[in-house]
Structure 1
């Protein structure tokens, strides 16, 4: 008495999903499907009932006229992969003998190996599905990065390379490599953008209505808000860092940072769109900064590094400032990494950021 095995069509479907793992082509799977179609029941039985004894002519007919030479090649491939076996008669003819209305003896292609490997096929199918999801997520991330790169301009060659890669069927390693290259290109562009001086777009003044001393005062006010980067550190900036770094245990957070909560609330207004409640303490500020960071696309390791090198309060203030300029900053995570590096070098200060936001100058955040 035969015992029914797995659902043949469900098993074929899972094998199709895991086709790459078994090095199966579409044509070879089609031949296997034809073999399965000769099994009367939906489930693959064991014993002689699980042997397909159809001739090559009948198989070719069911395969819409596939040449017998091609058919024999795909059958040999299925045998080589261990998905089916051959149960040959002495003269290599395929036939069956019935006894009591059931198949007692059959010679042909044995489907038992397919049943034996059912669990392995399911595992391979699950792995293939997981890999497909990873690859799809990688492709989506690369498309987003490519769009950001095109928006920055000046990287047409790399954007074209990405387009050519995605038109093919790249493996996971190739996609990860391209994602890393795009991140590096965007980070470099963000650093270049930070180091570019902000050009004021204030309306032109009527020089006839202003005295020379007034014009000098206007220039003085404009220059006073510049920030000096690590390539042009000023002695004054270094002195401020040294002074605020000393004796932290005896200072309040406002003394440590050189700014007050009131100044932060005045300068950073966008945060109210997400957190209408007033910031009443430095703990509130840090908590809100932690929630805003992922909204800007800032990864947790980047934020933690900023907290370590800037201090939790300074990192939170910086995140709120980046939120103010989110529409013009293409890579907030890269900005924060750059500012963290500046903090390690002792060339970072909060005051220019908040002053620029308070003055509402029409330029990108150049902290």
Structure 2
């Protein structure tokens, strides 16, 4: 049994063969491959395709599209399946409209010809399969496109998971997603999982680096350099007293302007910061975790300072997580940052 291998890419083959309308223009094995690649769309299984492959091998060029081989010979060529299984496979193809049966009076398969060249063929005709070549090519191309899209989205998900695992090794989210990826997912399920993963990444990622997250002018370079100081120096800075409420609200006028009530106490500031956080893309749960980790005053200062920096920070959620819960938590000093902001914006500290 010969099985000619195409020398062109599969997608190109489907597109090229899709233009063909007859078996004289179409390689029967290309049609077979198209059905093989899309067999699940028709409820077929691999053993069905093995039977069809064997039946196709009995066709001879120029001798029509009817299989005259006996069930015994077909079973031998398939690989020794029993005749009952063969009959089930044939019935399945008949139900799908991929072949038709023309039985002779004695149930034998053969062809008879008249003197003027007319003929009658008794056997299993595969002409319906070849007539549906365009449909099969289109179906196979759709399956291939879907397969490639699933692979592409899967790689996107795995990339996000790797970044989450690097910066949040304690999170259980990546392991849960990887368990889901062990199953065979549909394209819709992959897209939904990617959306969920991207949302988690936006919330938890700490990949936003201070120098990368800001696009500061020359006057604001001091803030950038402050965030790049060594951990030892920043730990020493943390021992300095917290800024006064009046000082912070004066310097961070962007956040202050959005307050509906006067900000006189740290309690007022924390309440206002909790209102601003979701507006900045920071999940309320993350803000509460930051308050627990570094204190409500320091977490609130982070909200006010970030809003003052504005578009110099690309991702508020990731940046906030980085300086309050992530690897840069020891580098965040509100007092020093406010001092730098006051000098750069000409506000009395």
TM range (shorter): 0.5 to 0.7
Q: Where do residues 214-293 of structure 1 align in structure 2 (5 Å cutoff)?
A: 219=240, 234-239=248-253
The offset of 1:115, in angstroms, is 1.4
Q: What is the aligned partner in structure 2 of residue 280 from structure 1?
A: none
Q: What is the aligned partner in structure 1 of residue 203 from structure 2?
A: 188
- State the SS of the aligned residue for 1:108: strand
- Is it true that 1:154 corresponds to 2:170 in the alignment? yes
8 Å contact from structure 2 (residues 35, 140) kept in 1: yes
- Is it true that 1:130 corresponds to 2:130 in the alignment? no
Q: Where do residues 1-367 of structure 1 align in structure 2 (5 Å cutoff)?
A: 4=24, 6-41=26-61, 49-98=64-113, 104-151=119-166, 152-156=168-172, 158-190=173-205, 201-203=231-233, 219=240, 234-239=248-253, 315=311, 317-319=312-314, 335=318, 352=337
8 Å contact from structure 2 (residues 204, 318) kept in 1: no
Q: Which whole-Å deviations, capped at 9, do the CAs of 1:258-290 have from their partners, x for residues lacking one?
A: xxxxxxxxxxxxxxxxxxxxxxxxxxxxxxxxx
CA distance in structure 2 between the aligned counterparts of 1:217 and 1:169, rounded to whole angstroms: 50
Q: Given the two structures, how large is their TM-score scaled by the length of structure 1?
A: 0.54
CA distance in structure 2 between the aligned counterparts of 1:110 and 1:216, rounded to whole angstroms: 86
Alignment CA distance shift 1:93-1:153 (3 Å): same
Q: Please, which runs of 5 or more residues in structure 2 have no aligned partner?
A: 1-21, 210-226, 258-306, 322-335, 342-349
Q: What is the aligned partner in structure 2 of residue 343 from structure 1?
A: none
CA distance in structure 1 between the aligned counterparts of 2:103 and 2:140, rounded to whole angstroms: 31
8 Å contact from structure 1 (residues 84, 109) kept in 2: yes
Q: Given the two structures, how large is their TM-score scaled by the length of structure 2?
A: 0.56
8 Å contact from structure 2 (residues 251, 338) kept in 1: no
- State the SS of the aligned residue for 1:105: strand
Alignment CA distance shift 1:120-1:217 (3 Å): closer
Q: What is the aligned partner in structure 2 of residue 271 from structure 1?
A: none
RMSD, aligned α-carbons? 4.4
Alignment CA distance shift 1:90-1:116 (3 Å): same
Q: Please, which runs of 5 or more residues in structure 1 have no aligned partner?
A: 206-214, 244-309, 320-331, 339-350, 357-367
CA distance in structure 2 between the aligned counterparts of 1:354 and 1:125, rounded to whole angstroms: 65
The offset of 1:202, in angstroms, is 2.9
CA distance in structure 1 between the aligned counterparts of 2:338 and 2:119, rounded to whole angstroms: 87
The offset of 1:185, in angstroms, is 2.1
8 Å contact from structure 2 (residues 163, 205) kept in 1: no
